[in-house]
């Protein structure tokens, strides 16, 4: 029944796009994040729902959607350059078979990130895309949060919709995404119009944020704890009552500490000294190997070039001698270990040119969102109060991702590339509004979204057409 329900929901979602082609874009966001084809075991898995939604989104925009206001930004050009460069390194990869397998999903993520800004021309569309992304990721997070709250968490033992340790379902990746969407949840709870802010929306937003904070505990991902600490400091920037915010945060920590399992403390204790943890030790060894590799191969070795690594490092081993214990350092040889860092992932696979493009894309995003935040934060006219907070939320989400990516190989994570697409769209939208003599595209649709979504759709809002 679950498989049939999933398939019917996806097909119903796609059917809505026959009247509103933009819905196909939302359908692809949903499918690419949740991966219902992995959750289902027969019908959903047999239908190429991701490919159908991908083609429908592009076809609907090309054939039926208005192009008024669509602009190509410089950052989209950088994404195109990175796509072409990745294609070139794939053709010359050290491990062609594995490189082709990774390329099969990386190119779609990059292409969709370039395409998404062309479709987001109105506030309603911005909010619709954000809402689908947050709620889809939220469905995974709520599921994991409930299991954690019930005592079912633990490193490597928090089971989600699928038993697949890849993509957003990988524990550290899910912890990073869960913390990163908290600013987006706060923005939707404050400025949303599809679900106008009231006590029910605020209650759900609070519960979802609580579930997001539970994910690093349930997965026991050390990166998640670091992301929470970074986000807590970043939120101080826009807090109106900073002392009250700090007091509330301290109180939350004091209340939560007694309920944390001992395994969580043991796992977090390895943050301080990497030499005492095998996982951290191998990461440092892989990073050192990558620097040596790129010195000999400055253009990288293509996707999955890490499979060529082989190194030896020393690990402390506890040895019992009668009633006493001693620590001896033994040599451990390992090979084909993943990068565990987006920086070294880009460096090893795409070399210095790829790393430069990747850093440029993200640095430019941080700068553009800061410009929008500063330029629009004092505007109070109708329809001009949501842009600066959205830029701030997207910027904070990106910073959390960048911090988390230092310790995970998630340089091409599709959810994050969707956020990059949203940033490109917001930058283009705000520049269009600031242009002399220009008015927002689809203003009638933007005015209507002050009402709940059903009223806007019933009125034939052009914003979703």
Q: Provide the pLDDT confidence category of residue 36 given band limits of 50, 70 and 90.
A: confident
User: Residue range 363-389: average pLDDT?
Assistant: 91
pLDDT at site 23: 94
What's the CA gap between 271 and 228, in Å, rounded?
Answer: 15
What's the CA gap between 140 and 236, in Å, rounded?
Answer: 28
Task: Kindly tell me if the per-residue pLDDT of 281 is higher than 90.
Answer: no
Strand partners for 317: 328
pLDDT at site 455: 40
Q: Provide the pLDDT confidence category of residue 459 given band limits of 50, 70 and 90.
A: very low
Q: Provide the pLDDT confidence category of residue 243 given band limits of 50, 70 and 90.
A: confident
Do 49 and 79 share a domain, yes or no? Answer: no
Does residue 276 form part of some domain? no
Task: Kindly tell me if the per-residue pLDDT of 320 is higher than 80.
Answer: no
Q: 3-state class of 318 per DSSP?
A: strand
Task: Kindly tell me if the per-residue pLDDT of 449 is higher than 50.
Answer: no
pLDDT at site 166: 78
User: Residue range 168-197: average pLDDT?
Assistant: 93
Do 133 and 41 share a domain, yes or no? Answer: no
Does residue 105 form part of some domain? no
Does residue 149 form part of some domain? yes
What's the CA gap between 272 and 222, in Å, rounded?
Answer: 11
**Are the C-beta atoms of residues 149 and 214 closer than 8 Å to each other?**
yes
192 token code pair? 């949303």
Residues above pLDDT 70, as percent of the chain: 82
Do 229 and 348 share a domain, yes or no? Answer: yes
Does residue 361 form part of some domain? yes
Q: What are the tens digits of pLDDT across the range 47-98?
A: 888 899 999 999 999 998 888 878 889 999 999 999 999 999 999 999 999 9
Does residue 306 form part of some domain? no
User: Residue range 426-455: average pLDDT?
Assistant: 60
Among 218-227, 297-306, 437-446, 453-462, which stretch is predicted with the lowest mean pLDDT? Answer: 453-462
Q: Which residues of 41-110 form beta strands (DSSP E)?
A: none
Residue whose structure tokens are 């914003």? 463
User: Residue range 185-208: average pLDDT?
Assistant: 93
Do 384 and 445 share a domain, yes or no? Answer: yes
pLDDT at site 335: 83
Residue whose structure tokens are 């054939």? 63
Host domain of residue 208: 73-83+120-266+341-464
Exposure of 207 in the CB half-sphere (CA atoms within 13 A): 14
Does residue 278 form part of some domain? no
Higher pLDDT, 246 or 197: 197
Do 21 and 77 share a domain, yes or no? Answer: no
Do 153 and 5 share a domain, yes or no? Answer: no
pLDDT at site 448: 41
Higher pLDDT, 270 or 134: 134
Q: What is the C-alpha end-to-end distance of the chain, expressed in Å?
A: 33
Do 427 and 347 share a domain, yes or no? Answer: yes
From the list 3, 62, 55, the residue with the least C-alpha distance to 24 is 55
Give the mean pLDDT of the chain: 84
**Are the C-beta atoms of residues 384 and 434 closer than 8 Å to each other?**
no
Do 397 and 357 share a domain, yes or no? Answer: yes
Q: Provide the pLDDT confidence category of residue 379 given band limits of 50, 70 and 90.
A: confident
User: Among the residues of 167-277, which ranges form H helices?
Assistant: 171-180, 182-191, 199-219, 222-234, 242-256, 262-268
- What secondary structure letter does DSSP report for 181? T
Helical (H) or strand (E) element with 292: helix 278-296
Q: Provide the pLDDT confidence category of residue 310 given band limits of 50, 70 and 90.
A: confident
Does residue 58 form part of some domain? yes
Q: Residue 461: what are its φ and ψ, rounded to 5°?
A: -55, 125
Q: Provide the pLDDT confidence category of residue 446 given band limits of 50, 70 and 90.
A: very low
Which bin fits 317, alpha (ψ -120 to 50), beta or left (φ > 0)?
beta
Do 23 and 77 share a domain, yes or no? Answer: no
Exposure of 4 in the CB half-sphere (CA atoms within 13 A): 1
Among 37-41, 78-82, 323-327, which stretch is predicted with the lowest mean pLDDT? Answer: 323-327
Do 60 and 77 share a domain, yes or no? Answer: no
Do 32 and 78 share a domain, yes or no? Answer: no
Task: Kindly tell me if the per-residue pLDDT of 151 is higher than 70.
Answer: no
Do 22 and 3 share a domain, yes or no? Answer: yes
User: Residue range 276-301: average pLDDT?
Assistant: 83
pLDDT at site 144: 85
Q: 3-state class of 330 per DSSP?
A: strand
Higher pLDDT, 227 or 41: 227
Does residue 262 form part of some domain? yes
pLDDT at site 443: 44
**Are the C-beta atoms of residues 286 and 340 closer than 8 Å to each other?**
yes
- Look at the chain and report how many structural domains it folds into: 2
Task: Kindly tell me if the per-residue pLDDT of 196 is higher than 70.
Answer: yes
**Are the C-beta atoms of residues 253 and 429 closer than 8 Å to each other?**
no
């Amino acid at each position: 029944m679950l498989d049939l329900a999933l398939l019917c929901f996806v097909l119903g979602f796609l059917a809505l796009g026959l009247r509103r082609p933009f819905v196909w874009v939302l359908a692809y966001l949903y499918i690419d994040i949740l991966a219902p084809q992995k959750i289902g075991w027969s019908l959903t898995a047999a239908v190429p729902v991701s490919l159908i939604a991908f083609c429908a989104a592009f076809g609907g925009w090309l054939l039926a959607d208005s192009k008024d206001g669509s602009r190509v930004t410089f950052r989209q050009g950088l994404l195109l350059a990175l796509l072409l460069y990745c294609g070139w390194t794939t053709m010359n990869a050290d491990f062609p078979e594995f490189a082709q397998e990774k390329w099969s999903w990386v190119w779609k993520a990059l292409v969709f990130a370039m395409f998404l800004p062309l479709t987001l021309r109105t506030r309603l569309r911005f909010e619709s895309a954000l809402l689908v992304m947050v709620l889809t990721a939220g469905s995974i997070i709520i599921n994991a949060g409930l299991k954690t709250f019930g005592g079912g968490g633990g490193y490597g033992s928090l089971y989600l919709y699928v038993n697949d340790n890849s993509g957003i379902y990988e524990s550290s990746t899910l912890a990073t995404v869960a913390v990163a969407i908290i600013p987006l949840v706060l923005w939707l709870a404050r400025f949303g119009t599809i679900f106008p802010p009231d006590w029910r929306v605020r209650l759900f937003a609070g519960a979802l944020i609580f579930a997001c904070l539970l994910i690093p505990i349930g997965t026991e991902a050390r990166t998640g704890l670091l992301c929470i600490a970074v986000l807590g400091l970043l939120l101080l920037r826009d807090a109106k009552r900073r002392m009250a915010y700090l007091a509330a945060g301290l109180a939350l920590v004091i209340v939560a500490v007694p309920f944390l399992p001992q395994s969580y403390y043991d796992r977090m204790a390895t943050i301080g000294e990497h030499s005492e943890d095998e996982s951290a030790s191998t990461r440092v060894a892989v990073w050192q190997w990558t620097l040596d590799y790129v010195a000999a191969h400055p253009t990288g070795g293509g996707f999955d070039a890490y499979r060529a690594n082989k190194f030896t490092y020393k690990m402390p081993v506890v040895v019992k001698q009668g009633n006493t214990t001693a620590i001896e350092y033994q040599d451990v040889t390992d090979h084909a270990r993943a990068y565990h860092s987006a920086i070294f992932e880009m460096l090893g696979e795409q070399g210095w040119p790829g790393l430069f493009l990747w850093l440029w894309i993200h640095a430019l995003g941080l700068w553009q969102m800061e410009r929008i935040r500063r330029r629009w934060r004092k505007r109070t006219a109708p329809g001009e109060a949501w842009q600066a907070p959205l830029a701030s939320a997207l910027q904070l989400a990106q910073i959390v991702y960048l911090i988390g990516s230092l310790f995970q190989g998630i340089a091409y994570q599709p959810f994050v590339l969707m956020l990059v697409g949203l940033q490109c769209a917001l930058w283009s939208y705000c520049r269009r509004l600031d242009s002399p003599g220009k008015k927002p595209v689809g203003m009638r649709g933007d005015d209507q979204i002050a009402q709940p979504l059903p009223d806007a759709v019933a009125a034939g809002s052009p914003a979703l057409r």
